[in-house]
Structure 1
Amino acid sequence: MATDYDAPRRTDSDELGADSLEELKARRGGEGTTGVVDEDETATAESYELPGADLSGEELSVSVVPIQNNEFTCSSCFLVHHRSRLARMDGNLPVCQDCA
């Protein structure tokens, strides 16, 4: 379908301006809306259930291994790295290659 972009456009404000005040009052009175929301926001928010949100019955299946002799904890990023990733020692604090 072809569109004539030079033709004047009608907007919603043009249509509302053409209606009389009595027509607008009659149209508004027929809708029956009060503008008051009867719904409690907290009750609505509590009714939503997120998928996988209930983890009360779950147990961790990760085994924690203590730091080994050939590993160090970076004093900047606090990650455990292998000794080969040691870039420098700032006093007694080791720094990894990523943070150096």
Structure 2
Amino acid sequence: MATDYDSPRKTDEDINEDSLQELQARRVDKGTSTIDVDPDEVAEGMELPGADLSGEELAVRVLPRQADEFTCGRCFLVHHRSQLAEEHNGQFVCKECAA
């Protein structure tokens, strides 16, 4: 990139004025995109790690492993038989763990 050394240079005052004008322009732009959010509403849905959940009840019905499912011997997840990749010494391995 070529530099024109003959062009007039800005003084410190000019640079400060430009910067101030840019900051004010940014401030105006930032204010127009502000969304009014109630912090209490946001905090209601958040749970802290280690929170006491002893009073909570599980609302999910757990079913036993079905006849067309298997438990992977590596990840210990229950998969459908279509996800079976291989069997080693009576242990089934799913496609994700075999990859």
Give the TM-score range, shorter chain: 0.3 to 0.5
> Which TM-score applies when normalising by structure 1?
0.47
Bigger Rg, which one: 1
Please identify which structure carries the higher helix content. Answer: 2
> Which TM-score applies when normalising by structure 2?
0.47
